[in-house]
Chains A and B, each alone.
Chain A
Amino acid sequence: MTDTLSKATAPEGDLAAYPMPRAQGCPFDPPTELGRRRAEEPISRVRIWDGSTPWLVTGYEHQRAVLADPRFSANPDHPGYPYTTASVKARRQGNPTFITMDNPEHDRYRRMFTRDFMIKRVEALRLHIQSIVDGLIDDMVAQGPTADLVQALALPVPSLVICELLGVPYADHEFFQQRTRLMIARDTDPGASVTATRELAEYLTELIRRKEADPTDDLLGRLVLDQVRPGNISLEQAANAALLLLVAGHETTANMIALGTLALLRNPDQLALVRDTEDSKVIANAVEEMLRYLTIVHNGRRRVALEDAEIGGQLIRAGEGVILTNDSGNRDPGAFPGDPDQLDVLREARHHVAFGYGIHQCLGQPLARVELQVVYGTLYRRLPKLALAVPFDDVRFKDDMLVYGVHALPVTW
């Protein structure tokens, strides 16, 4: 009892800062402190960049409970919402997208976009995605003997696919990739983040205007016909949704491709299992395990309590912020028996929370899965001698970005 009391009344000045650094030499593992908290104080406070002290929820079941509970809001306009960085806060503006809406608004807006990401429509893209991947590997090999896998394959694959799906010219990829980098860098000056976001929104607004005049058969073209023209959604809302889909559609999968490849190169027995299989189910299972093991959204999902709610015996009061660390949830031995810190591509891991959980779980997950299945199922078979072209210690990890990965991955084959 005294323990509980002393924790509850500990001076807030003693609170650990979040996010905390990863342990030296363990770039694939969440910070050690998250694992300690998950075992010892699974719902406990931290201090974040603005001095506020939200709750950190570190275990798998508690995270699912909060993310599925409508008493916890994803809308940053509610006081107490724990913004990720000053830049993320600064670029918050009008015309929100479904990612920051609660129900019933959320479902109404999300459903304007679900059609293009349903399983059968994404499956129909598989052969085309395969030809994109084959072509990029051909180009990389032709230009060898070394390459940066990020620039040669990891970024182009999802960028090409999301551009075609949305109807955004891929020729503009340097423009949107550069602004995306500014948006997701943790230390971007808030002013630069606002400018990058505005430039991207203006670019997409102009693109959608052109589609209004001359409709195209792609997601944004159909959005104009089905939703903008009837007045279900404003042009500005459509542009902000396009921005969300474009950014989330390329940066996340790109990091899974490059970081996943590095993780497999560091675990040769696991790489062999992926490389040597003829079974698409083994590849699909490996993708789920890689999503779990790497959990690239590594700065926590954010919510704020709208009313008092008890989670795992802990009272969270209305107006208090909550951070769900899905990276530690995905290493929870209660949900992933055996050694969850071990990459095991044969593990049953489909229940991971790498895409989040609750109504906001990733819209594009079927597309991400097919892209990763095609890349993992092709790259290592085509290049069985694939290897890192620099010492492992020279690889720069994206501790400075909101989405984890590697800044570059020099490889040889």
Chain B
Amino acid sequence: MKVLIDQDRCVGSGQCVLAAPTVFDQRDEDGIVVLITDTPSAEAFDGTREAARICPALAIEVDES
């Protein structure tokens, strides 16, 4: 699994951090998404998929090809 984020779209809702805290974090200065890793471990797959599904700004893409 490969995770792509678009910081320009992010609105800092924090949903991804709650869904997959080992994958997503927020920039200290403005709460915009940053990746802890772009290749999550298997136990974080479900949370990462959920983060992509519930991100209100469509700023997360998950590539599982």
Q: Is B a genuine binding partner of A?
A: yes
Please report A residues at the B interface, Cβ cutoff 8 Å: 67-68, 107, 110-111, 114-115, 117-120, 122, 350-351, 355-359, 361-363, 365-366, 369
Known: A111-B12, A366-B14. A119 touches B30 (CB 8 A): no
The reply to whether B54 and A115 contact each other, CB–CB distance below 8 Å, is: no
Please report B residues at the A interface, Cβ cutoff 8 Å: 8, 11-15, 17-19, 26, 28-32, 50, 53-54, 56-58
The reply to whether A110 and B11 contact each other, CB–CB distance below 8 Å, is: yes
18 contacting pairs across A/B (C-beta < 8 A):
A107-B8, A110-B11, A114-B11, A117-B12, A118-B14, A118-B17, A118-B26, A118-B31, A350-B18, A350-B19, A359-B11, A359-B56, A361-B13, A361-B57, A363-B11, A363-B12, A365-B15, A366-B14
The reply to whether B14 and A115 contact each other, CB–CB distance below 8 Å, is: no
Which interface residue of B13, B29, B32 has the most chain A CB atoms within 10 A?
B13
Contacts of B58 in A (CB 8 A): 68
Binding site of A, secondary structure by majority: helix, strand, loop or mixed? loop
B19 — nearest CB in chain A belongs to which residue?
A350
Known: A107-B11, A114-B12, A358-B56. A120 touches B30 (CB 8 A): no
Binding site of B, secondary structure by majority: helix, strand, loop or mixed? loop
Known: A119-B18, A359-B11. A114 touches B32 (CB 8 A): yes
Contacts of B57 in A (CB 8 A): 68, 358-359, 361
Contact among A68, A120, A351, A362 for B13, CB-based, below 8 A: A362
The reply to whether B14 and A110 contact each other, CB–CB distance below 8 Å, is: no
Give the CA-CA distance A118 to B12 in the complex, in Å.
7
B54 — nearest CB in chain A belongs to which residue?
A351
Contact among B19, B29, B56 for A361, CB-based, below 8 A: B56
The reply to whether B19 and A120 contact each other, CB–CB distance below 8 Å, is: no
Contacts of A359 in B (CB 8 A): 11, 56-57
Contact among B8, B14, B28, B53 for A365, CB-based, below 8 A: B14
Contacts of B17 in A (CB 8 A): 118-119
Contact among A114, A351, A356, A363 for B53, CB-based, below 8 A: A351
Distance between A283 CB and nearest chain B CB, rounded to angstroms: 14
A106 — nearest CB in chain B belongs to which residue?
B11
B11 — nearest CB in chain A belongs to which residue?
A359
A67 — nearest CB in chain B belongs to which residue?
B56
Known: A114-B31, A350-B50. A119 touches B14 (CB 8 A): yes
Contacts of B56 in A (CB 8 A): 67-68, 355-359, 361
Give the CA-CA distance A183 to B45 in the complex, in Å.
44
Contacts of A366 in B (CB 8 A): 13-14, 18
The reply to whether A115 and B11 contact each other, CB–CB distance below 8 Å, is: no
Contacts of B30 in A (CB 8 A): 111, 114-115
